[in-house]
């Protein structure tokens, strides 16, 4: 079962990267807000059908959830919108790596302090080194992207 979950996560990452690239290109034609809107309205329609036929819970229980838990929807919207803005300027790799560094950094804090009901896992020097190495890789990728854009005559920002 763990292999299936890992493969599913891998496929999810592949699809997310493709979505970032496509939305970045689409936003240059239709606009960033419009691209985000199309993504969310289409996703909402598909999920409505899936929930209608395969849902197992009571959708109205969302009103019983603590209000702070409902804030997660804003994070998803913010993530997608910021990705749409970033991809055309810094590229898919730099955008996705930045997001991953952000996710892992927040994950370190969440695990360390046991926020949001997670188990507590203290961070150690291995985790800190891993984050530092990811920042170094982001810097190298960003510099390579910038150099490539300059060589091709694009304006670097």
Structure tokens at 108: 């370190």
Give yes or no for residue 152 having a pLDDT over 50: yes
Confirm if 141 and 97 have CB atoms less than 8 A apart. yes
Give yes or no for residue 155 having a pLDDT over 60: no
Q: 100, 106, 99: which is closest to 84 by C-alpha?
A: 99
User: What confidence tier does 157 reach under pLDDT thresholds 50, 70, 90?
Assistant: very low
Q: What integer best gives the mean pLDDT of the chain? A: 87
Tokens 């990267």 appear where? 17
**C-alpha–C-alpha distance, residues 37 and 5, integer Å:** 29
**C-alpha–C-alpha distance, residues 14 and 113, integer Å:** 31
**What pLDDT, on a 0 to 100 scale, did the predictor assign at position 154?**
63
* Count of helices and strands (H, E) across the chain: 6, 0
pTM of the model: 0.74
Q: Give tens-digit pLDDT for 56-93.
A: 878 888 888 888 888 888 888 888 888 888 888 888 88
């Amino acid at each position: 079962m763990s292999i299936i979950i890992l493969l599913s996560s891998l496929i999810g990452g592949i699809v997310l990267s493709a979505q970032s690239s496509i939305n970045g290109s689409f936003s240059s034609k239709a606009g960033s807000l419009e691209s985000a809107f199309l993504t969310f309205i289409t996703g909402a329609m598909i999920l409505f059908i899936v929930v209608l036929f395969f849902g197992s819970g009571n959708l109205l229980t969302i009103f019983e959830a603590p209000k702070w838990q409902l804030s997660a929807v804003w994070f998803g919207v913010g993530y997608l919108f910021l990705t749409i803005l970033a991809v055309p300027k810094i590229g898919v790799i730099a955008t996705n790596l930045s997001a991953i560094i952000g996710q892992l950094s927040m994950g370190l804090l969440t695990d360390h302090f046991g926020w949001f009901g997670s188990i507590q896992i203290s961070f150690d020097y291995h985790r800190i080194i891993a984050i530092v190495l990811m920042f170094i890789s982001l810097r190298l990728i960003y510099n390579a992207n910038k150099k490539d854009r300059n060589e091709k005559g694009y304006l670097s920002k």
